Protein backbone atom coordinates (compact mmCIF):
# COMPACT_ATOMS: atom_id res chain seq x y z
CA UNK A 1 0.00 0.00 0.00
CA UNK A 2 1.16 3.56 -0.69
CA UNK A 3 2.22 5.21 2.56
CA UNK A 4 1.34 8.72 3.69
CA UNK A 5 4.21 10.48 5.48
CA UNK A 6 3.45 11.60 9.05
CA UNK A 7 6.11 14.11 10.03
CA UNK A 8 6.95 13.91 13.73
CA UNK A 9 8.15 16.77 15.91
CA UNK A 10 9.63 15.37 19.13
CA UNK A 11 9.86 17.70 22.12
CA UNK A 12 12.19 16.28 24.76
CA UNK A 13 15.15 13.91 24.57
CA UNK A 14 15.09 11.96 27.85
CA UNK A 15 13.93 8.46 28.73
CA UNK A 16 10.52 8.85 27.10
CA UNK A 17 11.90 10.69 24.09
CA UNK A 18 14.08 7.65 23.43
CA UNK A 19 11.23 5.18 23.97
CA UNK A 20 8.94 7.06 21.58
CA UNK A 21 11.69 7.55 18.98
CA UNK A 22 12.42 3.85 18.97
CA UNK A 23 8.73 3.17 18.31
CA UNK A 24 8.72 5.53 15.31
CA UNK A 25 11.69 3.63 13.88
CA UNK A 26 10.25 0.17 14.42
CA UNK A 27 6.50 0.44 13.87
CA UNK A 28 6.43 0.29 10.06
CA UNK A 29 8.71 -2.75 10.01
CA UNK A 30 6.12 -4.83 11.86
CA UNK A 31 2.74 -3.13 11.32
CA UNK A 32 1.29 -2.28 7.91
CA UNK A 33 -0.27 1.15 8.41
CA UNK A 34 -1.42 3.88 6.04
CA UNK A 35 0.81 6.44 7.76
CA UNK A 36 4.61 6.24 7.74
CA UNK A 37 6.28 8.19 10.58
CA UNK A 38 9.06 10.49 9.45
CA UNK A 39 11.42 11.82 12.14
CA UNK A 40 11.31 15.41 10.97
CA UNK A 41 12.52 17.48 13.96
CA UNK A 42 13.76 17.07 17.53
CA UNK A 43 13.42 19.94 19.99
CA UNK A 44 15.21 20.77 23.25
CA UNK A 45 16.48 23.96 24.88
CA UNK A 46 20.07 22.71 24.86
CA UNK A 47 21.12 22.79 21.20
CA UNK A 48 24.14 20.53 21.66
CA UNK A 49 22.09 17.83 23.37
CA UNK A 50 19.26 18.21 20.87
CA UNK A 51 21.72 17.74 17.99
CA UNK A 52 23.25 14.67 19.63
CA UNK A 53 19.79 13.19 20.18
CA UNK A 54 18.73 13.97 16.60
CA UNK A 55 21.90 12.38 15.22
CA UNK A 56 21.45 9.24 17.31
CA UNK A 57 17.81 8.70 16.37
CA UNK A 58 17.80 10.06 12.83
CA UNK A 59 15.80 13.29 13.13
CA UNK A 60 16.26 15.49 10.09
CA UNK A 61 16.50 18.81 11.93
CA UNK A 62 16.70 20.46 15.34
CA UNK A 63 14.81 23.24 17.07
CA UNK A 64 15.60 24.85 20.43
CA UNK A 65 12.18 26.48 20.87
CA UNK A 66 9.08 24.26 20.82
CA UNK A 67 7.04 27.20 19.50
CA UNK A 68 9.16 27.25 16.35
CA UNK A 69 8.63 23.52 15.93
CA UNK A 70 4.85 23.84 16.21
CA UNK A 71 4.84 26.77 13.76
CA UNK A 72 6.43 24.61 11.06
CA UNK A 73 4.06 23.56 8.29
CA UNK A 74 5.99 20.33 7.79
CA UNK A 75 5.18 19.01 11.28
CA UNK A 76 2.04 16.86 11.47
CA UNK A 77 2.37 15.20 14.90
CA UNK A 78 3.72 16.82 18.06
CA UNK A 79 5.10 14.37 20.62
CA UNK A 80 5.33 15.85 24.13
CA UNK A 81 8.01 14.12 26.22
CA UNK A 82 8.77 16.96 28.60
CA UNK A 83 8.25 17.61 32.36
CA UNK A 84 4.62 17.78 33.47
CA UNK A 85 4.57 21.55 34.03
CA UNK A 86 5.19 22.17 30.33
CA UNK A 87 2.49 19.86 28.90
CA UNK A 88 -0.37 22.35 28.90
CA UNK A 89 1.28 25.22 27.06
CA UNK A 90 2.70 22.93 24.38
CA UNK A 91 -0.52 20.96 23.92
CA UNK A 92 -2.67 24.08 23.63
CA UNK A 93 -0.39 25.56 20.98
CA UNK A 94 -0.25 22.28 19.06
CA UNK A 95 -4.03 21.93 19.11
CA UNK A 96 -4.47 25.52 17.92
CA UNK A 97 -2.10 24.75 15.05
CA UNK A 98 -4.14 21.68 14.11
CA UNK A 99 -1.42 19.14 14.93
CA UNK A 100 -2.03 15.60 16.12
CA UNK A 101 -0.75 15.18 19.68
CA UNK A 102 0.91 12.33 21.56
CA UNK A 103 1.46 13.36 25.18
CA UNK A 104 3.32 11.60 27.95
CA UNK A 105 1.54 10.84 31.22
CA UNK A 106 0.35 12.27 33.51
CA UNK A 107 -1.63 14.58 31.28
CA UNK A 108 -0.85 17.73 33.25
CA UNK A 109 0.57 19.30 36.38
CA UNK A 110 -2.87 19.30 38.04
CA UNK A 111 -6.59 18.89 37.40
CA UNK A 112 -7.13 22.53 36.45
CA UNK A 113 -4.60 22.30 33.65
CA UNK A 114 -5.91 18.92 32.53
CA UNK A 115 -9.44 20.30 32.20
CA UNK A 116 -8.24 23.24 30.10
CA UNK A 117 -6.22 20.92 27.87
CA UNK A 118 -9.06 18.45 27.36
CA UNK A 119 -11.52 21.19 26.44
CA UNK A 120 -9.10 22.77 23.95
CA UNK A 121 -8.13 19.50 22.29
CA UNK A 122 -11.75 18.42 21.89
CA UNK A 123 -12.73 21.79 20.45
CA UNK A 124 -9.83 21.62 18.00
CA UNK A 125 -10.82 18.09 16.98
CA UNK A 126 -7.22 16.94 16.58
CA UNK A 127 -6.14 13.29 17.01
CA UNK A 128 -4.76 12.83 20.51
CA UNK A 129 -3.35 10.06 22.67
CA UNK A 130 -1.85 9.94 26.17
CA UNK A 131 0.98 7.48 26.68
CA UNK A 132 -0.28 4.97 29.22
CA UNK A 133 1.77 2.36 27.41
CA UNK A 134 1.17 -0.58 29.75
CA UNK A 135 -2.27 -1.04 28.19
CA UNK A 136 -0.43 -2.26 25.08
CA UNK A 137 1.61 -4.99 26.75
CA UNK A 138 0.05 -8.07 25.10
CA UNK A 139 -0.65 -9.84 28.40
CA UNK A 140 -2.35 -6.73 29.80
CA UNK A 141 -4.42 -6.30 26.63
CA UNK A 142 -5.37 -9.97 26.76
CA UNK A 143 -6.51 -9.55 30.37
CA UNK A 144 -8.87 -6.81 29.19
CA UNK A 145 -10.30 -9.20 26.60
CA UNK A 146 -10.87 -11.95 29.18
CA UNK A 147 -12.58 -9.50 31.53
CA UNK A 148 -14.81 -8.15 28.75
CA UNK A 149 -15.78 -11.71 27.87
CA UNK A 150 -17.17 -12.04 31.40
CA UNK A 151 -14.81 -14.80 32.46
CA UNK A 152 -14.19 -13.31 35.92
CA UNK A 153 -17.87 -12.77 36.70
CA UNK A 154 -18.67 -10.20 39.35
CA UNK A 155 -15.44 -8.49 40.43
CA UNK A 156 -14.77 -8.12 44.16
CA UNK A 157 -11.19 -6.86 44.46
CA UNK A 158 -8.55 -4.97 42.48
CA UNK A 159 -5.08 -4.52 43.99
CA UNK A 160 -1.98 -2.97 42.51
CA UNK A 161 1.46 -1.78 43.52
CA UNK A 162 4.34 0.04 41.85
CA UNK A 163 7.55 -0.04 43.89
CA UNK A 164 10.95 1.58 43.26
CA UNK A 165 13.97 2.47 45.40
CA UNK A 166 15.95 5.14 43.54
CA UNK A 167 15.36 8.14 45.85
CA UNK A 168 16.30 6.64 49.23
CA UNK A 169 19.63 8.47 49.39
CA UNK A 170 19.41 11.99 50.79
CA UNK A 171 22.11 12.99 48.29
CA UNK A 172 19.68 12.67 45.35
CA UNK A 173 18.78 16.27 44.37
CA UNK A 174 15.44 17.63 43.25
CA UNK A 175 14.87 19.60 40.06
CA UNK A 176 16.95 19.87 36.93
CA UNK A 177 16.88 17.72 33.82
CA UNK A 178 17.61 14.43 35.59
CA UNK A 179 15.53 14.70 38.76
CA UNK A 180 12.63 17.01 37.88
CA UNK A 181 10.25 14.28 39.08
CA UNK A 182 11.28 15.20 42.66
CA UNK A 183 10.45 18.89 42.16
CA UNK A 184 6.80 19.61 42.92
CA UNK A 185 6.82 22.68 40.66
CA UNK A 186 7.81 20.53 37.66
CA UNK A 187 6.04 17.27 38.51
CA UNK A 188 2.92 18.36 40.42
CA UNK A 189 3.09 15.29 42.65
CA UNK A 190 5.44 12.42 43.37
CA UNK A 191 4.64 8.74 43.09
CA UNK A 192 0.93 9.50 42.74
CA UNK A 193 1.25 11.20 39.36
CA UNK A 194 4.33 9.32 38.18
CA UNK A 195 3.70 5.68 39.16
CA UNK A 196 0.17 5.36 40.51
CA UNK A 197 -1.19 7.10 37.41
CA UNK A 198 -0.19 3.97 35.47
CA UNK A 199 -1.85 1.72 38.06
CA UNK A 200 -5.02 3.84 38.07
CA UNK A 201 -5.28 3.93 34.28
CA UNK A 202 -4.93 0.15 34.02
CA UNK A 203 -7.38 -0.36 36.87
CA UNK A 204 -10.11 1.78 35.33
CA UNK A 205 -9.51 0.27 31.89
CA UNK A 206 -9.97 -3.20 33.34
CA UNK A 207 -12.51 -2.57 36.08
CA UNK A 208 -14.37 0.69 35.48
CA UNK A 209 -14.44 4.08 37.14
CA UNK A 210 -13.07 4.72 40.64
CA UNK A 211 -15.67 6.69 42.62
CA UNK A 212 -14.16 7.24 46.11
CA UNK A 213 -10.66 7.17 47.61
CA UNK A 214 -9.04 7.27 51.02
CA UNK A 215 -5.29 7.83 51.06
CA UNK A 216 -2.16 8.39 53.09
CA UNK A 217 1.10 9.78 51.73
CA UNK A 218 4.54 10.40 53.19
CA UNK A 219 7.57 12.46 52.25
CA UNK A 220 10.46 10.67 53.95
CA UNK A 221 13.19 13.17 53.00
CA UNK A 222 11.89 16.61 53.88
CA UNK A 223 14.62 18.68 52.22
CA UNK A 224 16.84 18.13 49.20
CA UNK A 225 19.34 20.27 47.36
CA UNK A 226 17.79 21.78 44.25
CA UNK A 227 19.87 20.99 41.16
CA UNK A 228 19.33 24.44 39.68
CA UNK A 229 19.64 26.72 42.72
CA UNK A 230 22.24 24.68 44.59
CA UNK A 231 20.32 25.34 47.81
CA UNK A 232 18.55 23.02 50.22
CA UNK A 233 14.82 23.39 49.65
CA UNK A 234 11.68 21.73 51.08
CA UNK A 235 10.46 18.67 49.17
CA UNK A 236 6.86 19.06 48.06
CA UNK A 237 6.19 15.70 46.40
CA UNK A 238 4.93 12.44 47.93
CA UNK A 239 7.62 9.76 48.26
CA UNK A 240 5.06 7.07 49.06
CA UNK A 241 1.30 6.68 48.75
CA UNK A 242 -1.18 4.03 49.85
CA UNK A 243 -4.86 4.32 49.07
CA UNK A 244 -7.94 2.19 49.02
CA UNK A 245 -10.97 2.93 46.92
CA UNK A 246 -14.41 1.98 45.66
CA UNK A 247 -15.17 1.25 42.04
CA UNK A 248 -18.49 2.05 40.35
CA UNK A 249 -19.13 -1.69 39.90
CA UNK A 250 -19.10 -2.20 43.69
CA UNK A 251 -15.63 -3.73 43.95
CA UNK A 252 -12.89 -2.55 46.31
CA UNK A 253 -9.39 -1.45 45.36
CA UNK A 254 -6.08 -1.27 47.17
CA UNK A 255 -3.07 0.60 45.72
CA UNK A 256 0.48 1.20 46.93
CA UNK A 257 3.42 3.05 45.44
CA UNK A 258 6.77 4.13 46.81
CA UNK A 259 10.31 4.99 45.78
CA UNK A 260 11.58 3.63 49.13
CA UNK A 261 11.17 -0.14 48.64
CA UNK A 262 14.81 -1.21 48.80
CA UNK A 263 15.54 -3.90 46.24
CA UNK A 264 12.72 -3.00 43.84
CA UNK A 265 13.57 -1.04 40.70
CA UNK A 266 10.19 -1.25 38.94
CA UNK A 267 7.90 -3.79 40.61
CA UNK A 268 4.52 -3.10 39.01
CA UNK A 269 1.86 -5.72 39.66
CA UNK A 270 -1.91 -6.00 39.68
CA UNK A 271 -4.45 -8.68 40.55
CA UNK A 272 -8.21 -8.86 40.01
CA UNK A 273 -10.43 -11.27 41.96
CA UNK A 274 -13.82 -12.17 40.54
CA UNK A 275 -16.62 -14.55 41.42
CA UNK A 276 -15.53 -17.13 38.83
CA UNK A 277 -11.86 -16.41 38.21
CA UNK A 278 -8.85 -14.30 39.14
CA UNK A 279 -6.19 -12.78 36.95
CA UNK A 280 -2.78 -11.24 37.76
CA UNK A 281 0.22 -9.67 36.03
CA UNK A 282 3.79 -8.67 36.93
CA UNK A 283 5.92 -6.24 34.91
CA UNK A 284 9.02 -8.27 35.77
CA UNK A 285 7.52 -11.16 33.81
CA UNK A 286 5.48 -9.02 31.45
CA UNK A 287 4.78 -11.62 28.77
CA UNK A 288 3.02 -13.92 31.25
CA UNK A 289 -0.55 -13.71 32.53
CA UNK A 290 -1.48 -15.61 35.68
CA UNK A 291 -5.01 -17.00 35.61
CA UNK A 292 -7.15 -19.01 38.03
CA UNK A 293 -10.49 -20.48 36.92
CA UNK A 294 -12.75 -21.90 39.63
CA UNK A 295 -14.59 -23.84 36.92
CA UNK A 296 -11.61 -26.11 36.31
CA UNK A 297 -11.83 -29.72 37.45
CA UNK A 298 -11.10 -29.84 41.18
CA UNK A 299 -7.96 -31.97 41.18
CA UNK A 300 -6.46 -29.80 38.41
CA UNK A 301 -7.69 -26.47 39.73
CA UNK A 302 -4.92 -23.96 40.35
CA UNK A 303 -3.14 -20.89 39.04
CA UNK A 304 -1.90 -21.30 35.47
CA UNK A 305 0.79 -19.24 33.74
CA UNK A 306 -0.18 -18.21 30.21
CA UNK A 307 2.81 -17.35 28.01
CA UNK A 308 1.32 -14.62 25.80
CA UNK A 309 3.44 -15.14 22.70
CA UNK A 310 1.35 -17.24 20.32
CA UNK A 311 0.11 -16.53 16.81
CA UNK A 312 -3.36 -17.13 15.39
CA UNK A 313 -5.03 -13.85 16.36
CA UNK A 314 -6.17 -14.78 19.86
CA UNK A 315 -3.23 -13.24 21.71
CA UNK A 316 -3.00 -9.48 21.04
CA UNK A 317 -0.28 -8.05 18.79
CA UNK A 318 1.83 -11.21 18.68
CA UNK A 319 1.04 -12.10 15.04
CA UNK A 320 3.10 -9.05 14.06
CA UNK A 321 6.31 -10.22 15.73
CA UNK A 322 8.52 -13.29 15.67
CA UNK A 323 7.67 -16.98 15.62
CA UNK A 324 5.29 -18.34 18.30
CA UNK A 325 6.83 -18.71 21.75
CA UNK A 326 9.34 -15.86 21.52
CA UNK A 327 8.67 -13.07 24.01
CA UNK A 328 8.82 -9.33 23.43
CA UNK A 329 9.35 -6.61 26.04
CA UNK A 330 8.79 -3.13 27.42
CA UNK A 331 9.85 -1.22 24.29
CA UNK A 332 7.25 -2.99 22.17
CA UNK A 333 4.40 -1.53 24.26
CA UNK A 334 5.27 1.86 22.73
CA UNK A 335 5.34 0.31 19.26
CA UNK A 336 1.85 -1.14 19.79
CA UNK A 337 0.62 2.19 21.14
CA UNK A 338 1.89 3.97 18.04
CA UNK A 339 0.57 1.30 15.66
CA UNK A 340 -2.91 1.70 17.16
CA UNK A 341 -2.68 5.50 17.03
CA UNK A 342 -1.67 5.45 13.36
CA UNK A 343 -4.49 3.03 12.56
CA UNK A 344 -7.04 5.17 14.39
CA UNK A 345 -5.90 8.32 12.59
CA UNK A 346 -6.23 6.60 9.21
CA UNK A 347 -9.75 5.43 10.11
CA UNK A 348 -10.76 8.76 11.65
CA UNK A 349 -11.68 7.24 15.03
CA UNK A 350 -10.73 8.34 18.54
CA UNK A 351 -7.72 6.70 20.13
CA UNK A 352 -7.67 5.52 23.73
CA UNK A 353 -6.60 6.64 26.20
CA UNK A 354 -7.28 10.16 24.89
CA UNK A 355 -7.09 13.42 26.82
CA UNK A 356 -10.54 12.94 28.38
CA UNK A 357 -9.64 9.46 29.49
CA UNK A 358 -6.42 10.77 31.02
CA UNK A 359 -8.41 13.55 32.69
CA UNK A 360 -10.35 10.87 34.59
CA UNK A 361 -7.05 9.44 35.85
CA UNK A 362 -6.01 12.95 36.85
CA UNK A 363 -9.25 13.32 38.83
CA UNK A 364 -8.39 10.17 40.78
CA UNK A 365 -4.83 11.37 41.45
CA UNK A 366 -6.16 14.72 42.63
CA UNK A 367 -8.67 13.02 44.94
CA UNK A 368 -5.87 10.85 46.37
CA UNK A 369 -3.77 13.92 47.22
CA UNK A 370 -6.81 15.68 48.71
CA UNK A 371 -7.67 12.65 50.82
CA UNK A 372 -4.11 12.34 52.15
CA UNK A 373 -4.20 15.98 53.23
CA UNK A 374 -7.64 15.81 54.85
CA UNK A 375 -7.58 12.28 56.22
CA UNK A 376 -11.07 11.80 54.81
CA UNK A 377 -12.77 9.84 52.05
CA UNK A 378 -12.97 11.95 48.88
CA UNK A 379 -15.42 11.51 46.01
CA UNK A 380 -13.85 11.39 42.55
CA UNK A 381 -15.19 13.75 39.93
CA UNK A 382 -16.27 12.27 36.60
CA UNK A 383 -14.73 13.47 33.35
> Tell me: the pLDDT tens digits for 300-310?
999 999 999 99
pTM for this prediction:
0.96
Tens-place pLDDT, residues 328-379: 999 999 999 999 999 999 999 999 999 999 999 999 999 999 999 999 999 9
Distance from chain centroid for Cα 301? 35
**What gap in Å lies between CA 381 and CA 289, rounded to an integer?**
32
pLDDT over 70 (residue 29): yes
Report the chain's mean pLDDT, rounded to a whole number: 97
pLDDT at 75: 98
pLDDT recorded at residue 2: 82
The pLDDT of 59-83, averaged and rounded, is: 98
Q: Which of 6, 133, 101, 93 is nearest to 350 (CA)?
A: 101
Percent above pLDDT 70 for the chain: 100
Between residues 236 and 2, the one the model is more confident about: 236
Domain 4-133, second-level architecture: 3-Layer(aba) Sandwich (3.40)
Q: How much is the pLDDT for 154?
A: 98
Contact 4, 36 (CB under 8 A): yes
Q: How far apart are CA 25 and CA 2, in angstroms?
A: 18
Distances in Å between the Cα of 129 and the Cα atoms of 41, 132, 157, 256 are: 20, 9, 29, 26
- Checking if the pLDDT of 291 tops 70, the result is yes
Say what the pLDDT of residue 194 is.
Answer: 96
| Fold that domain 135-352+360-378 belongs to in CATH | Dihydrodipicolinate Reductase; domain 2 (3.30.360)
**How far is Cα 89 from Cα 65, in angstroms, rounded to an integer?**
13
Q: Is the pLDDT of residue 1 over 90?
A: no
Domain boundaries, the chain: 4-133, 135-352+360-378
Percentage of the chain with pLDDT > 90?
99
- Written as one string, the DSSP assignment of 36-62 is EEEEEEEE-SSHHHHHHHHHHHT-SEE
Mean pLDDT computed over 151-162: 98
Give me the pLDDT at residue 11, please.
98
Amino acid sequence: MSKKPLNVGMIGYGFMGRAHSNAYHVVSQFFDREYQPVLKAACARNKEKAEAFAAQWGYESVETDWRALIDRDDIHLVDICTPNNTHMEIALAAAKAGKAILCEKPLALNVEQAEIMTKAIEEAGVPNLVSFNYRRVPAVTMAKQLIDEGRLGKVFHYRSQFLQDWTISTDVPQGGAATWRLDVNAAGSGVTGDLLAHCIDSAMWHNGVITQVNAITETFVKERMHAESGKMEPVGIDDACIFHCRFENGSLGNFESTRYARGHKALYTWEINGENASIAWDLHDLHRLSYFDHGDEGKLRGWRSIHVSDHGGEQPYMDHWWVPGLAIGYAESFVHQLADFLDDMAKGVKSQPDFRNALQTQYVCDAVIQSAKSGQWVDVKKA
